[in-house]
A and B are shown apart, each in its own frame.
Chain A
Amino acid sequence: MWSKVYTGFGFWDVYTWIIFFALAAGLVLWLRSMGRSDYKKGTEQDEIFYGSNEVPEDGEDIQVPASSAYWGFVEALQPYYEKLLQIHTGIANDYVGYLVVTTGILAVLVLI
């Protein structure tokens, strides 16, 4: 129950990892405790930095939307994504078509 998981090529020991995790967490908390606690709450000192501009009241105005996430990754793989989106038509005929074609391909491979 408490022993290691052997993969045949190495092993995994969850408890070593948890001890490491606890040590890392302790280090992080110690670093955090080194920070200054004498700032004035409720003043501009604990306001987020927003490019020296006034922070909008509604978070809606400053959040990066999900559709902008990984923009560079998607742009770099544009040809791949164009092909991928082309096959995801959302049309039921195509769904059945892929099923039938895949069956045909496997049948040819198995029967020859």
Chain B
Amino acid sequence: MNWQIHLPALVLAIPLLGAFAAPLAGLGGKHIRNAWFIFISVVTTVLTMLLWQKVAAGGPAVYVLGGQAWNLTLPSGLTWPIRIVLEVDAFGAFMAVVGGIVALAGAFFSLRFMEKFSGLDKFVSLYFLLVTGMLGMELTGDLFNFFVFLEIASVASFGLVAFWRDRPEAVEASFKYMVISTVAAMMVLIAIGFLYGRYNAVNMAAVGQMLHMGYAEKIALVFLVIALAMKCGTVPMHMWTPDAYTEAPAGVTCLLVGVSQAALYGLFRVCFSLYGASLDSVVVPWTIIVMGVLSMFIGVSMAVIQKEIKRLMAYHSVSQIGYILLGLGVGLLALRDPQAMADYGFTAMKGGIYHIINYTVYKGLLFLTAGALYYAAGSRNLNELGGLARVMPQTTFMFVIAAAAIAGLPPFNGFVSKLLIYESTFAVYPILAVMALVTSVLTLASFVKVFQTAFLGPAKAKFAHVTEAPGSMILGMSILTVVIIGLTLFPTWALSHLVEPAAKALVDQAGYIAAVMGGGL
């Protein structure tokens, strides 16, 4: 039997094994634990890539957990699946690859960044639980299972954000994130309860096939959209983001960027694959577009005035999420109109999905460079930093690449996805494209400020001892830099092999349903 049929399950099982075996690896000492940390991260990333390759070659992959056969979704003449089914289409596989890359970069970076702290066995366990939660949200085809993975990711995040528990700010940030996340998780659970009550099923494909809009379905949609929009840091529910992203260790913040994309994945999976053709009004698409525009502008406005480097970058995360919401919101708006989808909707979706990978890698890299500055200079305050380009040339080089990419400067990858979003949203309402352009200008302005105050300027006597970040931290940053440069130099390949299949899978609700409801065999 070809072992690759088990890839959907392996992608989840390996980091889960990594999490539970981390304390055992820790018994062998620091080197064994670190080797385990990197080994599991590398294997997980490779598996996500193999899964993507399998899906790209053979179409959506389904995997039945605990069933008679791994691919028998409807055994014994059942009309809908009763077991947990993992369903991986091109969009899910794309998201898993993105998540795997940032998890690997964060792991390499964390080796030296975290070494002076205690409790690292727990750190590695929580890190892999967070990876499992993130990947589970992206691979599952089951609503309740999605909730379970969402909670695994949330609980692991609370622990990791408060990992530096001697810092009151970290504990406070984690507590605030926990409070709002728990309320949102209850909303997700209630929404799933509504759908289960109506259709006696929690499989997304089965519910998607039967779904007809009524009051229960509308309330479930509202709860799911708002809760998942909150989890990815959308205005006006974004306020936990700067707190949590700032206080988490840098490697974890890099991973949290990927986790926020898993919530975004959930939002669009619900809108496109669960509701899809049943969405009979423009209220939800326009809500997503408006939240996207507000996130872009308010996020960047707040970023401009920050003087704490990670807080500034966290507000930019809110802003960049706005671009993705705008692109995919316009795609959702055009979903029921084939002409609009052909004219601008599909281009907007490609822009939004391309921005997911672009944003994840350059924002992950920016957080890692901020962590490298903190590690080397002992401060995250831009008023105190300065003149560090002389002593940290490699970090500076990678910061410049990431900053140029996030600001949408040509020829970097951020420019290509933003160009697709600008041109397609202009066709809907020109003001949307204008807001996106203004946001881009302000993004550039605030990263010029970071570059000027942290890296340029005269050398400061208090940083005379500062040296370049250690090799493993540079390696973590280099992984993301290489991905950025690859996406910059080969945008056509990225669009045709990564982005377009993902966008097509997302709009193909019938294909998503058929992969499970066709029986699976």
Are the C-beta atoms of B236 and A3 separated by less than 8 Å? no
With A7-B347, A70-B449 in contact, is A106–B240 under 8 Å at CB?
no
Main secondary structure of the interface of B (DSSP, over half): helix
Could you tell me the distance in whole angstroms from the C-beta of B7 to the nearest C-beta in chain A?
26
What is the size, in residues, of chain A's interface with B at 8 Å between Cβ atoms?
49
With A10-B423, A74-B304, A92-B179 in contact, is A99–B218 under 8 Å at CB?
no
Are the C-beta atoms of B492 and A95 separated by less than 8 Å? no
Chain B CB within 8 A of A35 CB: no
Are the C-beta atoms of A57 and B461 separated by less than 8 Å? yes
Q: Among the listed stretches B20-28, B111-119, B140-148, B222-230, which one makes contact with chain A, having 4 or more residues with CB under 8 Å of it?
A: B222-230
Q: Among the listed stretches B96-104, B157-165, B265-273, B381-389, which one makes contact with chain A, having 4 or more residues with CB under 8 Å of it?
A: B381-389
Are the C-beta atoms of B307 and A67 separated by less than 8 Å? yes
Are the C-beta atoms of A69 and B420 separated by less than 8 Å? no
Q: How far, in whole Å, are A111 and B271 apart by their CA atoms in the complex?
A: 17
Could you tell me the distance in whole angstroms from the C-beta of B339 to the nearest C-beta in chain A?
13
Could you tell me the distance in whole angstroms from the C-beta of B407 to the nearest C-beta in chain A?
15
Residues of A close to B184: CB separation below 8 A: 99
Could you tell me the distance in whole angstroms from the C-beta of A23 to the nearest C-beta in chain B?
14
Residues of B close to A64: CB separation below 8 A: 453
Q: How far, in whole Å, are A80 and B300 apart by their CA atoms in the complex?
A: 13
Some 28 contacts from A to B, beta carbons below 8 A apart, are: A12-B419, A14-B411, A14-B488, A17-B410, A57-B461, A60-B460, A63-B457, A66-B450, A69-B453, A70-B305, A80-B301, A84-B302, A90-B239, A95-B176, A95-B179, A95-B180, A95-B237, A96-B183, A98-B237, A99-B184, A102-B226, A102-B236, A103-B226, A106-B222, A109-B283, A110-B281, A110-B283, A111-B219
B contact set with A: CB distance below 8 Å: 175-176, 179-180, 183-184, 187, 215, 218-219, 221-223, 225-226, 230, 236-237, 239-240, 243, 281, 283-284, 287, 298, 301-302, 304-305, 307, 343-344, 347, 382-383, 386-387, 410-411, 415-416, 419-420, 423-424, 426-427, 445, 449-450, 452-453, 457-462, 488-493, 495
- Other A-B contacts than A5-B419, A63-B453, 15 sampled, CB-CB below 8 A, are A8-B347, A10-B423, A58-B461, A59-B386, A70-B304, A84-B301, A88-B302, A90-B239, A96-B180, A99-B180, A99-B226, A103-B222, A103-B226, A106-B225, A106-B284
